[in-house]
Structure 1
């Protein structure tokens, strides 16, 4: 079956469609992808392509979920409900031992706790339960002294920050997100897929590497030990990332680290709501908060993944976009970000896992095309 690209772009944004078409219809297995861009709140790109993907198809968005979770934390800090400089233990008394009691909320959100997993890891059912994960980690020994280094807490950061949110608000992070962000702004991005939306959900698909990519896989260096632990690959059997996103408990409960379900439109809408407002509602974040979430919080090398100067306030820094930009990638290849300078809110999702995982390479030319048009305007 031939792969076609559907959707629309506003006048002047045709170069973005050309980049998207060149990738989606290229000589490889279809990525089943969606791309959405808002410019100062206006939809300027709304595209999708694949054999079995529509513009409103819902699928697992992995760590793009972290962007929604960190937005909740930033919103509560902006309102003074949450004090980022207080120790985590002042909100969560059980969070003690091995130096955990000295860790501030800001350091926690910026992946500084060292609690990237437990030695035994988590089953799919367990890792879908943020409250259970948080309770286990509160008793665990960190993999480094809290606050002295940082590293990507791939599948647990939302459980840790979510427990702080629960202690300070009496509501789960998922509930606060639903009440304060998703429902008011009409976002098609869920932490816990409602039964009413099941008909639009389609599963994440396995990676299909090319022969050249298979050679790279075979010749690759062994994974760092902390990376295996953070991604729950140190247990037997190792967690399969595709099976994770498609697991009924993950889809239904929406763990705040990587269990969200949504569309590219919703990802762009989330970031548009953050920086400029949406649908007549004001921006979620004020200028000072926007500056804080993008400000570098983690100088130097990430202890878990091969990144440097990785995080602002939880959000991943967008080095290819600009110092004021913030967002988060997805294991399957997706990406969402906001750039207050150009007014861009970008959402890209893939149903088919990209090689080798993490931000898919096509985001480079797609982002460059988007920024070129935006800056030209």
Structure 2
């Protein structure tokens, strides 16, 4: 007896005829790539040309994904956190070439006195993970997390290579933002960007928004023995970055995670909100009709800091990768399309923000069924390929 083809949930929203391939790829994600619930928004030249959503906000298929459904986007949050630092630099309040200790004196401990602010932004500070055990509950403690990072010794010579700072990034960049502005990134972003521009995105989740937030589902694709074999290949720094503490859908769905401020990993938004934020990097500092960064500051965001085999994520990429000042360059992997100087950031499990200044394109893709990928999830890559096939 033959199996029936998967049922494609009704996809709602709008899509300009020119970008019909993006809608087809979005629907194909449900049909062929086990999408549960998702949304995608594409902006070109300041105009929204694709704004689609579909599927379910929960694994029981009780809540349809709506136009305003929010979801945790994991590391796609890092682009928003980097934006806070670049806004301060644009105003002359923060020097990206200054030692971090100039703003955060305690940070100079354990040989870190020469670590630069740009090293934090580009994952080159050598602080990809803590050396002491750090639980999820301790991750929710901003002061403790920052104190431990300030006291710890780098895993490699800062500035020499990049190694993905999966969770530490938000505290490192975020504490500099706090020391300079008096506000943590969540408050800074809300006051300076998202509320003035009407962008539906927050770092952490206000309790009042819980009712429209999708439930994350992490589908395992490897057995325990296969996972153990994979971890056995990882260097200590990669284990520290990815498992100290380990996080996933269970943590991301908890009230404690949502209430905390983790500027590397617990941004919540719609695809529309992600696309609007990343448009700042795609359109010379503008989002919609508002200027957020100067053109020079927006260009500075994508200054490459040196390609290398990432010390944390190296096993997952076919080529060397390069981090710019807060975002990843598309590079030889074409992670953000064929323009090697396009930039973006993926979130654990699949989400993505993309910015291509040459094409004036920004993309937001959000979903709740988390795949195993930290970057370049097949669903995201299918959408990116469809975008560039349509331009």
* Partner of residue 300, structure 1: 308
Query: Corresponding residue for 2:19?
Result: 13
TM-score (norm 2): 0.87
Q: What is the root-mean-square deviation in Å for CA atoms of aligned residues?
A: 2.2
Alignment of 1:240 with 2:247, yes or no, is yes
**Residues 218 and 80 of structure 1: is their aligned pair in 2 closer, same or farther, counting only changes over 3 Å?**
closer
Is 1:40 the equivalent of 2:45? yes
Matched, 1:105 2:117: yes
TM-score, normalised to structure 1, is 0.90
Contact 2:106/2:150, CA 8 A, preserved across alignment: yes
Deviation at 1:129, TM superposition (A): 3.1
Alignment of 1:202-221 (within 5 A): 202-209=214-221, 217=226, 221=230
TM-fit CA distance, 1:253: 2.3
2:238 counterpart residue number: 227
Q: Partner residue of 2:378?
A: 361
1:272 Cα deviation (Å)? 1.9
In the alignment, the residues of structure 2 paired with residue 312 and residue 240 of structure 1 have an alpha-carbon distance, to the nearest angstrom, of 25
Q: Does 1:258 align with 2:265?
A: yes
Give a deviation string over 1:27-64, Cα, whole Å, max 9, x none: x5333221111111111111122233223211110001
Structure 2 residue 262 is the aligned partner of structure 1 residue 285: no
For 1:11 and 1:262, locate their aligned partners in 2 and report how far apart those are by CA, in whole Å.
26
1:341 corresponds to which residue? 358
Report if aligned partners of 2:161, 2:308 keep a CA contact under 8 Å in 1. Answer: no
1:162-173 superposed matches below 5 A: 162-173=174-185
Contact 2:8–2:27 at 8 Å: present in 1 too?
no
Shift of 1:73: 1.0
Indicate conservation of the 8 Å contact 1:155/1:258, yes or no: yes
Query: Are the aligned partners of 1:30 and 1:352 in contact in 2 as well (CA < 8 Å)?
Result: yes
Shift in Å at residue 136 of structure 1? 1.0
Name the CA shift for 1:7/1:295 in 2 (closer, same or farther; >3 Å). same
In structure 1, runs of 5+ residues without a counterpart are none
The alpha-carbon deviation at position 333 of structure 1 amounts to 0.7
- 1:136 corresponding residue in structure 2: 148
How far apart are residue 286 of structure 1 and its match? 2.6
CA displacement at 1:287 relative to structure 2: 2.6
Determine the C-alpha separation between the residues in 2 that align with 1:364 and 1:195. Answer: 33
Against the structure 1 CA distance between its residues 184 and 120, is the aligned structure 2 distance closer, same or farther, given a 3 Å change threshold?
A: same
Are positions 1:54 and 2:59 aligned together? no
Q: Check the 8 A contact 1:131/1:159 in 2, yes or no.
A: no
Contact 1:254 1:261 in 2 (8 A): no
| CA distance in 1: counterparts of 2:379 and 2:233, whole angstroms | 24
Does structure 1 conserve the Cα–Cα contact (< 8 Å) formed by 2:78 and 2:264? yes
Structure 1 residue 274 displacement after superposition: 4.0
Contact 1:329 1:336 in 2 (8 A): yes
Q: Are the equivalent residues in 2 in contact too, given 1:318–1:327 (CA < 8 A)?
A: yes
Q: 1:18 to 1:220 in 2, by over 3 A?
A: farther
Alignment of 1:25 with 2:31, yes or no, is: yes
Q: How far off its partner does 1:219 sit?
A: 9.8
For residues 151 and 328 of structure 2, the distance between their equivalents in structure 1, rounded to whole angstroms, comes to: 27
Q: For residues 358 and 387 of structure 2, what CA distance do their matches in structure 1 show?
A: 13
Which secondary structure does the structure 2 equivalent of 1:265 belong to? helix
Partners of 1:214 and 1:357 lie apart in 2 by: 18
Matched, 1:271 2:283: no
In the alignment, which of 78, 84, 107 is matched to residue 95 of structure 1? Answer: 107
How many angstroms does 1:230 deviate by? 0.2
Specify the SS of the correspondent of 2:381. Answer: helix
The whole-number CA distance in structure 2 between the counterparts of 1:76 and 1:362 is 34
